[in-house]
Amino acid sequence: MKNYLGIDVGSLTCKFVLINEKNEITFSSYFRTEGNPIQSVQKGLRELKSQISKNTEIMGVGTTGSARYLSGVITGADLIKNEITAHAKGTTFFIPDVRTIIEIGGQDSKIIILENGVAVDFAMNLLCAAGTGSFLDAQAFRMDIPIERFGELALKSENPTTISSRCTIFAESDMIHKQQVGHKTEDIVAGLCEGLARNFLSNVAKGKDIKPPIVFLGGVSENVGMRKAFKGALNQKIIVPQYNTVMGAFGVALLVKKLGLPKSKFFGFEISDKDIRCTSFICKGCPNQCEVIEARIDGKVIARWGDRCGKWSNLNP
């Protein structure tokens, strides 16, 4: 049974997808990294191993996400790919004519513009985290609302209050003010969702040619309040496909399968039980003073990266 594994490690969550030769998803997992991407990858591998049959053969492993290089190094990945390409590949598999992808994760958000199934333009948030999953988590906690109920509560609002959408600090202070003057909780939550949608469109998506079909991905796409907010702001149907939270992992699994490798470099499931550590040092070889990352498995150096000239990365085993 030949299968292909995609791993997407972001700032807050870790996603695993396993596909077979027919591109069918045979396993998917989505969980929080809890600040430790290495242990999260090991946890995901243990869960995967417990769910698949013994005759399952991993023919390729691909990694993506903000920790794609780290997760690629420690698993022996065959392909390390950026999130833009991975999300575009995964989304077009389900929705071939997609023109716009909105993806909002734990600490970043992005928009991808496609033509004929190919990404032709994109943008990511660079400075502000307003509207991302971590910001919504923080506001839900402060208001003592389970994040799972946040969107459901927003849908109950009949008169959403106006919340500043300029940045995290202004949005939060505006929310506190609205609470102090007596606005209903559901109106504040709905106003926050609308404000965050405006913030995304006026900052991340500024100047982009947004055309339907529009697909909404990432952990924040689970929030029905945010879905409604984008639908209202764009006056367009918002599509949230199946596997919306693990689309990047699915996309990179498709990409590594396309390579048609005779054998994978995958280290195997036993990597989940090994001691994996990463350290860094500053190279003094030139004025650049690059920070070089060094990864070790059971004390043995398996990779170095981060240098501009290749002095250290070229020494990789």
Question: What is the per-residue pLDDT across 187-242, written as a single tens digit (0 to 9) for each?
Answer: 988 988 888 888 889 888 989 999 999 999 998 999 999 999 999 999 999 999 99
Note the Cα 59 to chain centre separation in Å: 24
Condensed to tens digits (0 to 9), the pLDDT of residues 88-101 reads 999 999 999 999 99
Describe the crossing of helices 133-142 and 168-180 by its angle, rounded to 10 degrees: 20
> Which residue type does 140 have?
A
For 244-259, write each residue's pLDDT tens digit: 999 999 999 999 999 9
Q: How confident is the model at residue 173 (pLDDT cuts 50, 70, 90)?
A: confident
**Secondary structure class of 209 (helix, strand, coil):** coil
Tokens of 273: 């039980």
What pLDDT score does 166 carry?
A: 65
For the residues 293-306, what does the mean pLDDT come to? 93
* CA dist., res. 214 & res. 175, Å (int): 29
Structure confidence at residue 162 (pLDDT): 86
Q: Give Dmax over CA atoms of the chain in angstroms.
A: 66
Q: Homologous superfamily of 2-86+249-273 in CATH?
A: ATPase, nucleotide binding domain (3.30.420.40)
Mean pLDDT rounded to a whole number for the chain: 91
- Helical (H) or strand (E) element with 76: none
List where CATH 3.30.420.40 sits in the chain: 2-86+249-273, 96-239
Instruction: For residue range 109-168, list pLDDT tens digits in order.
Output: 899 999 999 999 999 886 666 667 778 888 888 888 888 888 888 999 889 888 776 666
Q: Would the pLDDT of 76 be above 70? A: yes
280 forms beta bridges with: 293
Parallel, antiparallel, or unpaired: how do β-strands 118-124 and 13-20 relate? unpaired
Residue reference for tokens 């869960």: 47
Return the CATH fold of 96-239.
Nucleotidyltransferase; domain 5 (3.30.420)
Taking phi over 0 as left and psi of -120 to 50 as alpha, with beta for the rest, 245 belongs to: alpha
Round to whole Å and give the CA distance between 118 and 114: 5
CA 293 to chain centre: 22
Q: Lowest-pLDDT range, 137-146, 224-233, 269-278, 306-315?
A: 137-146
The conformational region for residue 275 under phi > 0 = left, psi -120 to 50 = alpha, else beta, is: beta
Select the more confidently predicted residue: 43 or 106: 43
Interacting residues of 201 by C-beta distance below 8 A, sequence separation 6+: 210, 233, 234
